[in-house]
Amino acid sequence: MDDFFTEADVVSVYTREQAIEDGILVRVPYRRDDRQLDLCFTANLFTDYKEDETARDALIERGIRLLQQFDPEDLPGVRKLRVIDADRIWVVEDFIGGPLTFMRPEDY
């Protein structure tokens, strides 16, 4: 991460862990291929999926499949964003194999 910001003056940092502690992000336990994924929903989106684990799991799998597809706009090794449902749900993968965040566009 230091290499990415070598020429920029960082004014403030708000970490993923701070967002979880503040309730902005909700950690969602999810296992795939025998490993635990680092996966969060924004609190705004999680309210719609809190009670329906089947729908939540289907959304997660759809997001993962979309992230695995090539997109020429992806920044190699940095970040991928996929639109799962136009104007409703996005998923972001920070760094290759890094944490996943499911969100509404207005949460970005």
Higher pLDDT, 86 or 20: 20
pLDDT, tens digit, for every residue of 25-75?
999 999 998 999 999 999 999 999 999 999 999 999 999 999 999 898 887
Question: What is the model's pLDDT at position 97?
Answer: 76
* Nearest residue to 41 (alpha-carbon basis) of 66, 65, 60, 22: 60
For residue 98, the model assigns a pLDDT of 84
Burial class of residue 103 (count of CB atoms within 10 Å of its CB; 0-12, 13-18, 19+): buried
Task: Give the model confidence (pLDDT) of 73-108 as tens digits.
Answer: 887 778 899 999 988 999 999 887 789 999 999 998
Token reading at 87: 């104007």
